[in-house]
Structure 1
Amino acid sequence: MYLIFLIPPVSPSHLNQSLKLADKIAAAGFLVVVPDFFYGDPIIDYNDPNFDVKSWGKVHNPDKGYEDAKAVIAALKSKGVSAIGAAGFCWGGMVLVKLASSTDLRAAVVLHPGSITEDEMLKFTVSDVKIHIAILGAEIDQWSPPEKLKQFGEKLLAKSDFDSFVKIFPGVAHGWTLRYNVDDESAVKSAEESHLDMLNWFTKYVK
């Protein structure tokens, strides 16, 4: 059984597109799960003056997401799933960077991850990564600038045991793979290209 699980962004505004993407992956022959790592408590509106982002982040931090994801993986393996891949978006990308240090996954795709520290990047790329990993980034991204993702790529290439792939998509901003205007032909094309890159990666290394 080949399974992919999606670690979504923090906002429910992405949910509809996340579920459509899950259907697209399933149509390619994978079983797909989309766990709720926020337990019904996503960020509704970043611009709400009454919303305390820092307090929310303390409760829903990537370390907690990592532990929750490990529990999901263990549950799936207990059901007989033999090969697992994962895709992480924004906050989920930060979680997936941590999961890359485990052999529980066969492959991962990180899409426009949230902010990752230099220490985390160094630890991840130099010593800890144990799976094939693709990183898809945006040209316009304050959280994960292209320069930082390219540094990831350079360090990953030095690890010959595992395949890696970094691609920066021109003219798009953070979140473009899920948060895009369906009436914008260019935006749809960029999003669909990222989806195809992700599917090709999973087909190559998970199936």
Structure 2
Amino acid sequence: MACVDCVSGNVHSGSSIGQEITLAGLPTYATGDPDSKRIIVIGVDIFGWNFINTRLLADEYAARGFRVYIPDLFDGRELPQWTLSAVAADTPTLLQRMLRPLSLFAFVPFILRNSKTAQSAKIGTLLKQLRQTQADAKIGFIGFCWGGRYAITMNSDFDATVACHPSLVKYPTELDNISKPISFALAAEDPAGFGAVRGKEAEKLLKDRGLTDLEVIIYDGVHHGWTVRVNMADEKKKQARDKAKEQALAWFEKYLTIASQ
């Protein structure tokens, strides 16, 4: 399911340092050492590949030695950022409270345009090109909110994945393809449906199937979408955002390891 927090949050300040390229026919933000054999593909939330928050986060990953790509999975038609100011996550005005339900209507045509089949095909085509051109690289995928679903459904295609507050997950059937290392970063209370209770259920289910390279970390006091759209002026929530960033980086540093020559 989707929720109000899927279309709300804060815009972060800063300037990205990467470049815009074309990868597998998709406009893509690329950052980090182009010769790195440790690659991270980001599955964006509904605000798309141009969203400054996601680009700044990608730059932070790149600073740890990864090559990072943010492909445009929405054909340039991401959700407009006016919904963020219309539905401010922390201290909304009366008008903003009234606009919150209305903003979800912008989400409906977005869902219709971007089916699971279409999204999976784009991610799969990009991954295929990376496998062909960089056969000796390790490739991970991290998804946020909308993109978090594909960290689950396409886990077996990558070397490791991280799912941050995934939405629209068909549980438990979409966990069937998980066979590679996967890490979950979840808000304790998540109206999008993948909070602490669901996370603990998924952890048990996957462990019962024999998956050992697995972690589920629950964050209290944050809302759905906090890993990319948190209010950075709120120190406690910023700390949670930074901990989730370190969670993902530690996971990829562990599982996107290149054997010594």
- State if a TM-score over 0.5 links the two structures: yes
> Aligned equivalents of 1:113 and 1:50: distance in 2?
17
Cα distance in 2 for residues equivalent to 1:172 and 1:181: 10
Q: In the alignment, which residue of structure 1 is the partner of 2:143?
A: 88
1:81-119 deviation digits (Å, cap 9, x = unpaired): 52100100011011221101x3x311000000003223x
- Residue 128 of structure 1, CA deviation: 2.4
Q: Which stretches of structure 1, 4 residues or longer, exceed 4 Å deviation after superposition?
A: 46-52
* 1:196 has 2:249 as partner: no
Larger radius of gyration between Structure 1 and Structure 2: 2
Question: Scaled by the length of structure 1, what TM-score is found?
Answer: 0.89
Runs of 5+ in structure 1 lacking a partner? none
**Which secondary structure does the structure 2 equivalent of 1:160 belong to?**
coil
* TM-score, normalised via structure 2 length: 0.71
List aligned pairs for 1:174-185, cutoff 5 A.
174-185=224-235
CA RMSD of aligned residues (A): 2.1
- Residue 75 (structure 1) shift: 1.1
Deviates more, 1:10-19 or 1:164-173: 10-19
Amino acid at match of 1:42: E
Separation (CA, whole Å) in 1 of partners of 2:55 and 2:211:
33
| Equivalent residue runs for 1:15-54 within 5 Å | 15-44=51-80, 45=83, 51-54=105-108
Q: Which amino acid aligns with 1:41?
A: R
Q: 2:168 aligns with which of 99, 112, 115?
A: 115
Aligned ranges 1:74-153 → 2 under 5 Å = 74-81=128-135, 82-100=137-155, 102=156, 104-118=157-171, 121-124=172-175, 127-143=176-192, 144-153=194-203
Identity of aligned residues (%): 26
Question: 1:15 Cα shift?
Answer: 1.6
Q: Look up the match of 2:40.
A: 4
DSSP-derived class of the 2:58 partner: helix
Q: How many residues align?
A: 201
The CA distance in 2 between the partners of 1:60 and 1:163, in whole Å, is 30
> Are the equivalent residues in 2 in contact too, given 1:14–1:179 (CA < 8 A)?
no
- Write the distance in 1 (CA, Å) between the matches of 2:183 and 2:246: 12
TM-superposed deviation, 1:194: 0.3
Question: What is the aligned counterpart of 2:207 among 154, 157, 161?
Answer: 157
